[in-house]
Chain A
Amino acid sequence: DAGITQSPRYKITETGRQVTLMCHQTWSHSYMFWYRQDLGHGLRLIYYSAAADITDKGEVPDGYVVSRSKTENFPLTLESATRSQTSVYFCASLLAGVAEQYFGPGTRLTVT
């Protein structure tokens, strides 16, 4: 189906483990974004990518790594998960020259 998908939708992991959140879009949008949502903070930008192999930090990048080898995929990796990374993570994509972003359904991550 066309659109933007995220997997897994729910994840529980332990402190110190590596975990990767996947994001896939079928529109061939050039821009992709990762946000985290925390109570009292709204959504904050973690990383973004303007095209394959081009990524840049957002407001809260510490503890996260991204890659973009293919236009349609933008995985987010927590190298060593911490409890402060318990959050809901949203991926979004954007067509170049257009202002509106399209959001995935989110991944709820709990770090114990």
Chain B
Amino acid sequence: AQSVTQLDSQVPVFEEAPVELRCNYSSSVSVYLFWYVQYPNQGLQLLLKYLSGSTLVKGINGFEAEFNKSQTSFHLRKPSVHISDTAEYFCAVSGEAGTALIFGKGTTLSVSS
């Protein structure tokens, strides 16, 4: 069975500081990995995805993530955050194409000035 653990439930940071949101997964098969963002009272928006190939994945809004197979991790990073990045971030994993997503419990990123 697959599972996802987001290691931090809340991450407070100051504007322009770097941030890393941590995600570990467990799976006995090859996986696809995703990060979604949810702004207050809105739906889910795909930030980035790892399907295959380069382990460093770049997404929207300046975010990037690195797939580390040996450590079963897919941490999300941004070198300099803005107030507008305040949101809930979800890491998710799926197996072969067509299977459902398994989500982590989410990390609340709060950016203050």
Contact = CB atoms under 8 A, between A and B. Distances in A.
Interface residues of B, number: 21
Interface of A: 30-31, 33, 35, 40-45, 48, 50, 58, 90, 92, 94, 96-101, 103-106
B37 to A, nearest CB: 12
B105 to A, nearest CB: 4
A100 B103 contact: no
15 contacts: A33-B100, A40-B105, A42-B105, A43-B44, A43-B90, A43-B101, A44-B103, A94-B97, A96-B98, A97-B97, A99-B49, A99-B51, A103-B36, A103-B44, A105-B42
Interface in B82-113: 90, 92, 94, 97-98, 100-106
Ordered nearest first, which 4 A-B pairs have the shortest CB separation? A42-B103, A99-B32, A42-B105, A43-B103
Contact of A42 (B43, B51, B104): B104
A104 B97 CA distance: 19
Interface of B: 32, 34, 36, 42-44, 46, 49, 51, 90, 92, 94, 97-98, 100-106
A68 to B, nearest CB: 15
B48 to A, nearest CB: 11
Nearest to B90: A42
Contacts of A43: 44, 90, 92, 101, 103
Contact of B98 (A35, A41, A42, A97): A97
